Amino acid sequence: MKILAIDTSSQSASCAVTEEGKLLGEFFTNVKLTHSQTILPMVENLLEQTRVALPEIGLFAVTDGPGSFTGLRIGLSAVKGMAHALGKGCVGVSTLEALAWNLSGMDAAVCPVLDARCSQVYTALFRSGGDFPERLADDEAVSLSALEERLKKFGERVFLVGDGAEMCYNMFKDRVANLTLPSPALRFPRASSAALAAGRAYLRGDVLPPASLAPAYLRLPQAERERLAKLTKEGSSI
């Protein structure tokens, strides 16, 4: 079965096609163009270069969060549109889990870190080394100080991946032992990793109809947080 996966969860964007666990092709960009401009032309070019027709795709996958609110909506909309048109199933893959798949096969603990702004990060914890990463902690938004304390207590060698990995490495390295920053090729979300994770989800039966795909934000968008803060302030002043 061929899987088409898309990632638009952060500044980078990528799409990939796999077949039975084999990567047929992947396009990756890390530029400041909006994903709405780039992702569908990337998919079109990828399918052309791999000689795969869209109707041949048996399963669609997308990173569904956490990540950029706008980016997630773009990726989810693209996948839902293609899957609905073809009557195919979908798999939503945690962005943090997809990052852990980047280091699949390496004997190490993996801590994905996405910059959530406001001195917070989206993070989780996985153990790599087998055929797939084993989840050790759920996805959540935590403060930088809380993440530092967590890594100190963990006490093992940890690979940091994600767009917040370099920031956290530079901030923690003098106080947290055994932190490793892998090469940039392994630090960003990759659609190929999302496709591999989706293949495993398919075997478990975790496939959704397109309409059921939804973003996993972990926290409210900034505009909604500001609106609630304003309402709270107005309520306290009455």
User: Could you read off the pLDDT of 73-123 as tens digits, one per residue?
Assistant: 999 999 999 999 999 999 999 999 999 999 998 899 999 999 999 999 999
Q: Is 73 exposed, middle or buried, given 0-12, 13-18 or 19+ CB atoms closer than 10 A?
A: middle
Could you tell me if 90 and 126 lie in one domain? no
Q: Are residues 86 and 195 in the same domain?
A: yes
Query: What is the reported pLDDT for 110?
Result: 97
pLDDT tens digits, one per residue of 181-210: 999 999 999 999 999 999 999 999 999 999
Output the pLDDT for position 19. 98
Residue whose entry in the numeric block shows the structure tokens 């048996």: 58
Specify if 159 maps to a domain: yes
The two structure tokens encoding residue 97: 């889990």
Tell me, yes or no, whether 236 lies in a domain: no
Is 96 in contact with 112 (CB distance < 8 Å)? yes
11-15, 50-54, 107-111, 215-219: least confidently modelled range: 215-219
- CA separation for the pair 176, 1 (Å, rounded): 43
Q: Using alpha carbons only, what angle is made at residue 21 by residues 20 and 25, rounded to the nearest 5 degrees?
A: 100
Phi-psi region of 67 (alpha: psi -120 to 50; beta: other; left: phi over 0): left
8 contact partners, CB below 8 Å, separation of at least 6: 35, 39, 63, 68, 71, 72, 74, 75, 78
- 48 vs 18, 24, 35, 94, 172, CA distance in Å? 14, 12, 20, 28, 44
Same domain for 167 and 200, yes or no, is: no
Exposed (0-12), middle (13-18) or buried (19+): which is 77, by Cβ within 10 Å?
middle
Whether residue 84 is found in the same domain as residue 131: no
CATH of the domain at 137: 3.30.420.40
Letter for the amino acid at 70? T
> 62 and 177 share a domain?
no
What pLDDT, on the 0 to 100 scale, is given for residue 228? 42
- Give tens-digit pLDDT for 123-180: 999 999 888 999 999 999 999 999 999 999 998 899 999 999 999 999 999 999 999 9
Report the alpha-carbon distance of residue 108 to residue 112 in Å, rounded.
13
User: Could you tell me if 109 and 162 lie in one domain?
Assistant: yes
In DSSP terms, which residues pair with 143 in a beta bridge?
A: 120
Residue 229, φ and ψ in degrees, nearest 5: -65, -40
Does the structure show a pLDDT above 80 at 220?
Answer: no
Domain extent, residue 182, equals 99-187
Domain count, the chain: 2
Query: Which tens digits make up the pLDDT trace of 30-72?
Result: 987 789 999 999 999 999 999 999 999 999 999 999 999 999 9
